[in-house]
Amino acid sequence: MIVMKFGGTSVAGKNEISRAVEIIASRLNKKPVVVVSAMSKVTDLLYKLAEAAASKQTDLCEELMNELRTRHIRTAEDLLEGKAGYLLPAISCVNEICDGLATTVGAVCALGELSDRSKASIVSNGELLSSSIIAHVMNAAGIRTEQVNARDMIITSGDVMNGEPDLASIQDRVPGIIEKAFEGNDAVISQGFISRSKDGVNTVLGRGGSDYSASLIGMAINAEAIEIWTDVDGVLTADPRVVEGALRLSRLSFEEAAEMAHFGAKVLHPQTIEPAVRKNIPICVLNSKNPECEGTLILNDEQIEDGVKSVSFKERILVINMFSTKMINTSGFLSKVFDVFKNNNVSIDLISTTEANISVTCEESPNNIEKVIEELSEFASISIDRDKAQISVIGKNLVNLTGTVQKVFDPIEDTKVYMISQGSSYINLTMVVDRAELKAAVIKIHNSLFN
Ligand code: ADP
Ligand code: ASP
Ligand code: MG
C-alpha cells in the first residue's frame, strides 16, 4: 500500500482534480490510500467564517457560506458533467455538509462566542467537502473507491485546534479500517487535517496538518511510501517565492527535512517526518502539475550524502535577552528560565548564553508571551528585540564542509547579525537578522552556497 496526499493547490478545481485522479489511476497496483486537503483557500475561508460568526456578522457569514457551497457544487458539476448517477449524490453530499456547517455557524452567531470546539468543527469542513467530491469523481472514472472518515482513524489529545496524535490508538485502529475499506475496492480516500479526541470531540492537527495525517496513516499501515503531491517539483534549496533560482533536491534525509520544516520551510508540516521515521517509510515530495518530475525522496540518514541542502527562514521571530548577575557561578538558573517558557507553553527556537546573559528566540506572537516576559522579569532584566527574522542553513554534517561559514557570512557582511547558533548535531547554522534585511540576505546566502 502507499499513501498519496494531495494538497490544496493540487485539488483546487476541475483541472487539478482531474489531474490528481489520473495520477491516482496510475498507481492502483500499489493500493493507494488517498489523503486530501481542502480545495485551495477553502480553509482560510472557514477560519474567516468562524471569526465572522463569533462577531455576529451574519451577512458576512451568509456571503461566505454561499461562496463555499457554490464553489463546491460548480466543481462537482464541472467534473461530473453528463454523469448524473455520480453528480446528484455528490451534490447532495455537498449540500448535507454545508447544511451541517450552517447550523454550527448559526449557533455560534446566536451566542456571539466561539469555543475552540466550534472552531475546530467549522474549519474541518473543507476536507469533508473536497474528499466527498473527489471520491465521486474517482468512482465515476472507474476507480472503485471507498471513503473513510479520518476522524475514526486520527485520534488526538491536548489542544483541540492543534491536536496531538495518539500514536498507539492510531496504530491500533487504522490497519483494520483501511483493510476493510479495500474489500472490493481499488482505492481508499480520506481527509487530511481533521481528527477526533478520545472523548468524541472534533479536533484538527493545525494549519498545514494534512501532510501529518498522511504520514500518520502511512505509519499505521506500514506503507511502502508516502507521496506528498504539491505544487512545486519537490523540496527545493529555498522557498521559490523568495529565491528565484531555488534548485530541486533529489534526496534528503529525514533529519534534514524535519529540520527544514521546523525552521520555516513551508513545504511540509513540521511533524510529518516523525511517524515516517518510526517505520522507516520513504516520503516522496512530488509535483501534481509536473508528475513526470521525480521530485524529492526523503530517506534514512545513512543513505544521504553530507552537504548543504537548503536555506530556510522564519520571517517573524522575537529575541528575548535576559541579563542577571545572579547567573554567575550559580546552578539552576537556566532551568528556572526554561520552566517559565514551559509553564506558559511557549516554544524556544534558539538559545545562546554567556556568563550573565541568555538570549532566546521564539515565534513573534505566541499566546502568553506577555506573561513569559513578566515572569522572567522577576529574576532577570529583560530586553526584547522586535522585527527580527531567522535564517537557517541546513545540511548533513555542515561542520565537515570547510568554507561553509565563510560562504554564509561573506555575502552578508553589511547585514547586522544579532545571534548565531550552530547545534552540536552540525545540521543547522542559524542566525538572527533584521526582518527588513531578511529576503535580500536569504538570496545572497543561497546564491553563495548553490551557484
Ligand atoms: P500544499 O497545499 O500542497 O500542502 P503548501 O503551500 O503547503 O502546499 O506547500 C508548498 C509550497 O511550499 C510551495 O508552493 C512553496 O512556495 C513553499 N515552500 C517553502 N519553502 C520551500 C522549499 N524549501 N521547497 C519547496 N517549497 C517550498
Ligand atoms: N486545509 C488545511 C490548511 O489549509 C490543512 C492542509 O491543507 O494541510 O491548513
Ligand atoms: Mg501544505
Contacts of 46 (CB under 8 A, 6+ apart): 38, 68, 122, 123, 125, 126
Q: Cα(219) to centroid of ligand 2, in Å? A: 20
Q: Between β-strands 251-253 and 32-36, what pairing exists: parallel, antiparallel or unpaired?
A: unpaired
**For residue 335, what pLDDT is reported?**
87
Residue 423 CA to residue 264 CA, distance in Å, equals 17
Contacts of 124 by beta carbon, 8 Å cutoff, 6+ apart: 191, 193, 194, 202, 204
Establish whether residue 37 lines the binding site of ligand 2, counting it when its CB lies within 6 angstroms of any ligand atom. Answer: yes
229: Cβ contacts below 8 Å, ≥ 6 apart: 4, 5, 6, 7, 10, 20, 23, 286, 287, 288
Cα angle 234, 230, 243; round to 5: 50
- Whether residue 161 has its Cβ less than 6 Å from ligand 2: no
Query: Does residue 207 have its Cβ closer than 6 Å to ligand 2?
Result: yes
Which pLDDT score is estimated for 424? 65
- Cβ < 6 Å from ligand 1: which residues? 7-10, 37, 208, 230-232, 235-236, 238-241, 265-267, 310
pLDDT given at position 219 = 98
Nearest ligand, CA 47? 2
Measured in whole angstroms, how far is the alpha carbon of residue 2 from the centre of its chain?
A: 20
Which protein residue has the closest C-alpha to ligand 2 atom 2? 208
Taking the CA of 42 as reference, the closest ligand is 2
Ligand 2 in reach of 38 Cβ (< 6 A) = yes
CA pair distance 170, 177, nearest whole angstrom? 11
What separation in Å is there between the alpha carbon of 231 and the centre of ligand 3? 10
Amino acid 345: pLDDT: 87
Question: 319: which residues sit within 8 A by CB, 6+ positions away?
Answer: 359, 360, 361, 384, 385, 388, 418, 419, 432
Q: Is 210 touching ligand 2 by the criterion CB < 6 Å?
A: yes
State the pLDDT at residue 367.
Answer: 76
Separation of 437 CA from ligand 2 center, angstroms?
A: 30
What DSSP string runs through 182-226? HTT-SEEEEESSEEEETTS-EEE--TTTHHHHHHHHHHHTT-SEE
pLDDT tens, residue order, the chain (451 aa): 999 999 999 999 999 999 999 999 999 999 999 999 999 999 999 999 999 999 999 999 999 999 999 999 999 999 999 999 999 999 999 999 999 999 999 999 999 999 999 999 999 999 999 999 999 999 999 999 999 999 999 999 999 999 999 999 999 999 999 999 999 999 999 999 999 999 999 999 999 999 999 999 999 999 999 999 999 999 999 999 999 999 999 999 999 999 999 999 999 999 999 999 999 999 999 999 999 999 999 999 999 999 999 999 999 999 999 998 876 667 778 888 999 999 998 989 999 888 788 999 999 877 788 899 999 999 899 999 999 999 999 999 988 888 899 999 999 999 999 999 887 668 999 999 999 999 999 999 999 999 8
Query: Nearest 5°: CA angle at 139, between 136 and 145?
Result: 95
Report CA(363)–ligand 1 centroid distance (Å): 20
How many whole angstroms from 309 Cα to the centroid of ligand 3? 20
Q: pLDDT value at position 420?
A: 92
DSSP state letter for 38 = P
In the reported structure, the alpha carbon of residue 334 is separated from the centroid of ligand 3 by a whole-number distance in angstroms of 36
Candidate from 45, 125, 207, 217 with most ligand 2 atoms within 8 A of CB, to mutate:
207
Ligand 2 atom index nearest CA of 193: 5
Cα(18) to centroid(ligand 2), Å: 20
Ligand 2 atom closest to Cα of residue 44: 4
CA 37 – ligand 2 centroid, Å: 6
